[in-house]
Amino acid sequence: MERETAFAAAEDEETLESSRHCHNPAASLKTFGLLSLVIGEVVALPRMDTSKFDQLAHDACTYVFNFMVSETAVFVGDSHLIGAGASGANLFGSMNDLDAKFYSISVGYVGDAEGTIILILTRTLAERFTCKLLGMPSMEWTGAEDARETMRDTLGELGNSFVGLVKGALTQFYPHLMLTTPSVSQGSLIQLNPAEYTFRKQYHFTAMGSSMIVDICHK
């Protein structure tokens, strides 16, 4: 009888432990995404303080230029366009060497959170970055009929690398995120609907003697 009682107690403990595991907030949140039922209560993933985007922008920009082309990116300033305390102006017009043939790279992230990150490079920076990455003295050395295709491919890699770093940091708050395919365009800005976003901030950097804007838009 004592053995049966002990077995039953052990079985109950195993069932309780299993129940605890099933209702573990971390495990449940991984299963259900943003919201999860935990013992009858709704538990939300902790929302990231958007001020963390400041450090993410700095770290990602510094890393990709150093890692991909062994160059230094220097922070110039920022402008808060959407969200609590927003009072800034669009930094696009403040870029050095800006002409009508600038490049825009757009990559989104979707899943537990959604947003879009846009990198705006002057033509000068885009060409210098491409040449340095591919080990060419000038764009004419690509051998392609349209050197712009080579540049678009290279800038797509830049966008993927940059947003991939940001995504990696975001997953501690939003475990399930995927990146969209990079979109690269020349001479036109990516059109955004401000009403869709709760946060937007731009960061101005200089690198390789020219300018770049990092535009982070978070829903």
Domain residue limits at 22: 2-44
| Domain identity same for 143 and 36 | no
Question: And the tokens for 162?
Answer: 């940059």
| Domain identity same for 88 and 166 | yes
| Domain identity same for 113 and 31 | no
Mean pLDDT of 198-209: 97
| Domain identity same for 115 and 97 | yes
| Domain identity same for 37 and 125 | no
- Residue 6's pLDDT is 41
| Domain identity same for 134 and 61 | yes
| Domain identity same for 175 and 200 | yes
- Point out the least confidently predicted range of 23-32, 142-151, 167-176, 199-208: 23-32
Per-residue pLDDT tens over the stretch 141-192: 666 666 778 888 999 999 999 999 999 999 999 999 999 999 999 999 988 9
| Domain identity same for 9 and 115 | no
Question: What CATH code is carried by the domain that includes residue 100?
Answer: 3.40.1550.10
Number of domains in the chain: 2
> What is the pTM (predicted TM-score) of this model?
0.77
- Residue 143's pLDDT is 65
Per-residue pLDDT tens over the stretch 43-72: 555 678 999 999 999 999 999 999 999 999
